[in-house]
Structure 1
Amino acid sequence: MLSDWIPLLRDLRQYRKEWLTHDVVAGLSVTAVQVPTAIAYANLAGFPPEVGLYASILPVLIYALFGSSRQLMIGPDAATCAMIAALLLPIAGGDLDYYLKLSAGMALTAGLLMVFGGMTHMGFIVNFFSRPILIGFLNGIALSIIAGQLGKLLGIAVANLDFGPSLMELAGRLGEMDGYSLGVGCATLVLLILIQHYLPRAPAALIALLVAGLTVFLLGSDMGSVKLVGEVPSGLPSFSLPGLGYEGVQGIFISAVGLVIVCFTSGMLTARSFAARNGYGINADQEMRAIGFANMASGLCGGFAVTGADSRTAVNDASGGKTQLVSVVAALATAGIVLFLTQPLGHLPIPALAAVLIFSAWGLLDIAGIRRLRVIDHFEFSLSLLTTVGVLAIGVLPGVVLAITLALLNVLIKIYRPADTLLGIVPGVVGYNDISLSEDARPVPGMMIYRFDAPLLFFNADYFKARVLSLVDSAEPKPRWFVLNAESISQLDITGAQAIDDLIIELQNRGVRLAVARPKLYMRKYGQPMGLGKKIGAENIFYSVHSAVETLLAREAQAHNCVHGVQNDR
């Protein structure tokens, strides 16, 4: 159905008259935040201010049609802009026209990849990027943005773009600091903090930039050393292909893949959080297509990559926006400003824009999240810090790739040497449970009950076998039965089945018999051809740990009574 591809049509069919006021007010409120931040983010990436505005019109309209989120606002974002600058400025070599083509080409390529991914149901990839990696990535981006804007705040044109070298260069050139620029930047920063504290729902960036721009304009020649945005061309963008050619696309393709990861993951996190707050669900594949279409539109109209924007989405939600009609209003209002109100935008001071970016970047820093990780899991805390350091030291994309690689390696290590448990009788707890739960817990006499908490596959099969034999050999007294609780063995391959086959013989050589509790149906695929069922014995395969223990204890008791009966007959 058409409404499955264009959710806005469905929302409009169910639209209520009383929502219109909320959506229009929310759209205008978003515009008040969107225009100054779009210019600031364009400045962050090294683009002319109008490019940021172009990325805030058509892409926003396109997402409004195709997105499944009712609150998410699409547009320029600090993380994506910092990533674009880090990846493409070295390739552009100072050629602004070529840089604009590269950024448009990368947005178009990333958009195509996301549309293809959404159509092939690849939206699930968002679940592969752990929270520690995202915290570390955003912290690294935030610190790199702050470092990159300090020069503009101080009125110093810093040549180095990398985190460490830029700070070292800035430290060596502090004598060139412009007092007026520093004053404007710091005053804007203080004003932003005060507005957020006392008027949290007000468009802080708009108010702060208006005050800064008006101050510089009124003081005139006295503030002549403060750099301004300059002329902002009026008029809507034209449509064109970037014209990079096949080799040009090849050169940015890997960067576009990295951009897909950042854009989609960031957008989905924002969309999911606000959808949960408002009590509805998000379709990951739909979101992937929608963000992809928005990026394609941005690339075709001379913009750059866009994603879900936390601040503008929060403004939408706080203003009572009900549907994506908010995005339509915001896009049209931004287009009106681009057509008729560009002259005042040229008077915005660069140090004030730097202050807005530093303020926004500070909001990206998740200090509380890092502290929480430190308490909960040392490895994930280290992984998050390593991601931050990687982003700052070796670049945005290599840093993220390194962190994801380490996270996947950690998963493999956990599967290779997974948690396992010996089960027994725990006082006060029904059933057979982990004997480490209580000092008073005890194993079932003559029996070792073992649970392996991972898939049993080719890379952990030897560890599984060695672990079982080690537990049996170290047990005092030695068990007569080894009960394998298979409930947590979620997958099995032929190597894992062979390990069980070997274990049957190894345990028999030690005078121990194997029983299996809670086997999975998929075990038949490998168990039947290898004859595992016959070797274990159908009488030693049980559907629960309880039935296994009770049956084996009863069997041993019966055998014991038979032995005593024979002795008494003699």
Structure 2
Amino acid sequence: MHSIFVYMLKRYFPILEWLPKYKKSYLAGDFSAGITVGIMLIPQGMAYALIAGLPPIYGLYAALVPNLIYVFTGSSRKLAVGPVALDSLIVASSLAAMKIANVTDYISMAIFLALFVGVIQLVMGFMRLGFLSNFLSRPVVSGFTSAAALVIGVSQLKHFFGLEISTNNTVKTLQAIFSQISETNFYDLTIGVAAVLVILGLKKLHRKLPAAMVVVILAIVGIYLFMVNDTDVHIVGQIPQGLPAFLIPELNVDMMVRAFPTAMALAFIAFAEAMTIAKAVEDKSQEYFTEPNQELRALGLSNIIGSFFQSFPANAGLSRTAVNVDEGAKTGIASLISVVVVGVTLLFLTPFFYYLPKSVLGAIIILAVYGLIDLKYPKQLWAQRKDEFYLFLVTFLTTLLIGISQGIIFGVLFSLLLLVYRISRPHIAVLGKIKGMEYFKNLKRFPEDVEVHDEILMIRFDAQLFFANVQYFKSQLMKEVSLKGDGLKYVILNAEPVNYIDNTALNQLEKTVENLKEAGIVFKIAGAIGPIRDILQKSGFLNVIGKENVYVRTAEAYEDCLKKMERTALQEKVSLQYK
């Protein structure tokens, strides 16, 4: 009983698994990564809060408690949890669609979303629904991420130009910028462009330099010393000092109904995003195994408890996780140190951010999401798999032109449609025996190397036979039968790739066999695996084709047909000589 209890504790709190095994050699990497990511979190958190339409302080709140909870519950030891650009944009677009009247209600709904998303993720984790992340194919993820990066980048242009634009729609934002371009605040524009150049320059000088934090400090000092008028530059302004207070999020039925679609989409998207990052890190290091269901529970708890400390939805950040790994993080101690850095900032340093220009935060966001735009992958898809390229394109355009939530939903639906199409029209090959060998290969691939007999048709069906594809199987089979002509006497189905046959397919197969019999054609099955033979036996199908027409190997069925063909020819010769 004690061992079961310990096992369950370690399962739900993975820190109990790795912390007792912690080595001193890990500390240097964890400390370096923790400090670096903690410094990154400060400007990023504030910037991502702006994306979500929230005051900057809420970005620091989202960087604090969710990250701390994940340290204890996450199965990945290197994920850096906190506010992320993509989730922030989903929050902004969803809350904008709700047309919330005032700032207080807007903030309340954002915090409630964190609670709702967390509950959904926690329930999904206990229901073991982690496998759902498998339905996000790479073309969908790539198309979604690239478009979302563009959407996020465009949303920050208003801070660059110092314009007041309320819409979150990409097309409308661009239209508004062009229509108001004469009203550009050149102080904001100059500072934003300078911030981009300094960050790029520092990264070129040394990629591990905390370029974003350096720019933030330089901008604050510059504005404090040289800004003559408060209206010259759009600045962050007053930021509350101190750790977030414990507050129970406002709950009512109306909020739940309005937030449900967004919460469901966000719970799924955030989990898929986190698992994509976690798997990439896991594959690179091969040091531990990320458990999808525990990740759901960990993210769920992080968001639930975070919402009680005024956090909006948090998730694993790609750029911060990459820095975490690059800096040598080995365990969650790195994230724990990041939490301390954010906590110290909240307690003592927030007054210093009063003079931080919003255009600098916009520059940080634009550069952070630029790396998410993947141009090579769609080119590769166009050259290799055009159907998957169209899947990428549908997801990309839907996300870019319609909305973030709609993009991921359309992408998944289009993926499922593509999957259904492929399942309903699987690969079918007409086989021939390679001359002088026991191999049976596709006639189209080896047209000059195979034996061909007008009396024998061999086909291989590379999928399970069930209601969705049996009509396609039947039509392709009868097409090949008609192409063979009147001399056809035997049809051999190589059933090695077939791993299941449902009742609908069996009924159609029986009718097909009967039709072939009426035409004087014998149907044979070769290479069927054990479960398929059981299905054929229990269904009575063996009585339809005859047990003598079932073979272990395709070669045996082929040789049997040849012998019968030779015997028939000999009988015909003898009968002619007798006359």
TM-score (norm 1): 0.96
Output the amino acid matched with 1:505.
E
Note if 1:547 corresponds to 2:552.
no
Counterpart contact for 1:469–1:507, Cα < 8 Å: no
- Check 1:218–1:426 CA distance in 2 against 1; reply closer, same or farther (3 A cut): farther
Counterpart contact for 1:74–1:306, Cα < 8 Å: yes
What SS does the aligned partner of 2:524 have? strand
Aligned-residue offset at 1:27? 0.7
Note if 1:365 corresponds to 2:365.
no
Tell me which of 128, 141, 145 is aligned to 2:148: 141
Aligned-residue offset at 1:569? 7.2
Aligned-residue offset at 1:103? 1.5
Aligned-residue offset at 1:324? 0.9
What SS does the aligned partner of 2:63 have? coil
The equivalent of 1:199 in structure 2 is 206
Tell me which of 182, 186, 190 is aligned to 1:183: 190
The equivalent of 1:352 in structure 2 is 360
Return 447-456 or 495-504, whichever deviates more: 447-456
Aligned-residue offset at 1:37? 0.4
Aligned-residue offset at 1:57? 0.9
Aligned-residue offset at 1:426? 4.0
Aligned-residue offset at 1:410? 1.2
Tell me which of 506, 515, 527 is aligned to 1:497: 506
Note if 1:464 corresponds to 2:473.
yes
Note if 1:82 corresponds to 2:95.
no
Aligned-residue offset at 1:439? 3.3
The equivalent of 2:424 in structure 1 is 416
Tell me which of 509, 517, 522 is aligned to 1:513: 522
Aligned-residue offset at 1:455? 2.4
The equivalent of 2:4 in structure 1 is none
The equivalent of 1:433 in structure 2 is 441
Counterpart contact for 1:50–1:232, Cα < 8 Å: yes
Counterpart contact for 1:422–1:451, Cα < 8 Å: yes
The equivalent of 1:95 in structure 2 is 102
Counterpart contact for 2:121–2:296, Cα < 8 Å: yes
Aligned-residue offset at 1:11? 0.9
Cα root mean square deviation, aligned? 2.0
Note if 1:49 corresponds to 2:47.
no
What SS does the aligned partner of 1:488 have? coil
The equivalent of 1:329 in structure 2 is 337
- Check 1:510–1:353 CA distance in 2 against 1; reply closer, same or farther (3 A cut): same
Aligned-residue offset at 1:330? 0.8
Aligned-residue offset at 1:244? 2.9
Residue-by-residue CA offset, 1:57-103 (whole Å, 9 max, x unaligned): 11111111111112111111111111111111221524221112212
Tell me which of 40, 43, 51 is aligned to 1:36: 43
Percentage of matched positions with identical amino acids = 29
The equivalent of 1:127 in structure 2 is 134
Cα distance in structure 2, aligned partners of 1:470 and 1:199 = 65
Counterpart contact for 2:499–2:531, Cα < 8 Å: no
Note if 1:534 corresponds to 2:543.
yes
Aligned-residue offset at 1:378? 1.3
Aligned-residue offset at 1:301? 1.4
Return 210-219 or 266-275, whichever deviates more: 210-219
- Check 1:560–1:475 CA distance in 2 against 1; reply closer, same or farther (3 A cut): closer
Residue-by-residue CA offset, 1:465-497 (whole Å, 9 max, x unaligned): 121111100125743211112222233211101
Return 354-363 or 425-434, whichever deviates more: 425-434
Aligned-residue offset at 1:316? 1.0
Cα distance in structure 1, aligned partners of 2:340 and 2:129 = 32
Note if 1:302 corresponds to 2:310.
yes
Return 221-230 or 176-185, whichever deviates more: 221-230
Counterpart contact for 2:491–2:523, Cα < 8 Å: yes
- Check 1:91–1:525 CA distance in 2 against 1; reply closer, same or farther (3 A cut): farther
1:154-303 alignment to 2 at 5 Å? 154-221=161-228, 224-279=231-286, 280-303=288-311
Cα distance in structure 1, aligned partners of 2:373 and 2:511 = 53
Cα distance in structure 2, aligned partners of 1:487 and 1:387 = 36
Cα distance in structure 1, aligned partners of 2:192 and 2:446 = 61
Aligned-residue offset at 1:343? 1.1
TM-score (norm 2): 0.94
The equivalent of 1:341 in structure 2 is 349
Aligned-residue offset at 1:528? 3.7
What SS does the aligned partner of 2:343 have? helix
Return 544-553 or 215-224, whichever deviates more: 215-224
Cα distance in structure 2, aligned partners of 1:25 and 1:389 = 40
Aligned-residue offset at 1:239? 2.4
Q: Any gaps of 5 or more consecutive residues in structure 2? A: 1-6
What SS does the aligned partner of 1:139 have? helix
Output the amino acid matched with 1:159.
S
What SS does the aligned partner of 1:290 have? helix
Question: How many equivalent pairs are there?
Answer: 570
Output the amino acid matched with 1:36.
P
Aligned-residue offset at 1:230? 0.9
- Check 1:427–1:258 CA distance in 2 against 1; reply closer, same or farther (3 A cut): farther
The equivalent of 2:497 in structure 1 is 488
Counterpart contact for 2:435–2:451, Cα < 8 Å: no
Cα distance in structure 1, aligned partners of 2:93 and 2:231 = 31
What SS does the aligned partner of 1:187 have? helix
Cα distance in structure 1, aligned partners of 2:318 and 2:61 = 19
Tell me which of 364, 379, 385 is aligned to 1:377: 385
Residue-by-residue CA offset, 1:192-220 (whole Å, 9 max, x unaligned): 22223231112221122222222222212
Return 386-395 or 128-137, whichever deviates more: 386-395
Note if 1:22 corresponds to 2:24.
no
What SS does the aligned partner of 1:341 have? helix
Tell me which of 565, 568, 571 is aligned to 1:556: 565
Q: Any gaps of 5 or more consecutive residues in structure 1? A: none
Aligned-residue offset at 1:563? 5.4
Counterpart contact for 2:269–2:408, Cα < 8 Å: no
Aligned-residue offset at 1:457? 1.6
Aligned-residue offset at 1:529? 4.9
Counterpart contact for 2:499–2:532, Cα < 8 Å: no
The equivalent of 2:3 in structure 1 is none
Counterpart contact for 2:282–2:290, Cα < 8 Å: yes
